[in-house]
Amino acid sequence: MGSDNMVSTQSDKHLWLAEKILNEHPQCIRGLKFFTLECCRIYYYRVFRNGLIGPRLGIYRDRKDSLCEICMRLREDWEGSVVDECVVYISAFQIEEV
Ligand SMILES: [Zn+2]
């Protein structure tokens, strides 16, 4: 069992996930909103510059976590089991070190 991607806290996990999502979605994403469910699954949405929530980009689940009933059935009332909400904004500029 590798531990390369192990993250200690929830916010570390969000940042790690944001980076991963940005690599997979190279278009200009301003921000991401993460909804963490009771089962640790994370639904993530695009956030626009004006703060509006865009379409869902995907769902993240740790391999070690099992699917709960809500996730297995892809029920629409998953919002009822949200335990954490977090928005990560991504800076448009990056400082390049020389
Ligand atoms: Zn679940």
Higher pLDDT, 34 or 69: 34
Interval between CA 79 and ligand 1 midpoint (Å):
11
pLDDT value at residue 36: 92
- If you average pLDDT over every residue of the chain, what do you get? 79
Q: How confident is the model at residue 33 (pLDDT cuts 50, 70, 90)?
A: very high
From ligand 1's centre to the CA of 67, what distance in Å?
Answer: 5
- 48 close to 30: Cβ distance less than 8 angstroms: yes
Ligand 1 mean position to 71 CA, how many Å?
Answer: 4
> Sorting pLDDT into bands at 50, 70 and 90, what band is 1?
very low
Burial class (CB in 10 A: 0-12, 13-18, 19+), 37: buried
Reading the block at residue 45, the tokens are 């949405």
- What is the phi-psi region of residue 95: left when phi exceeds 0, alpha when psi lies from -120 to 50, beta otherwise? beta
Half-sphere exposure of 75 (CA within 13 A, CB side): 14
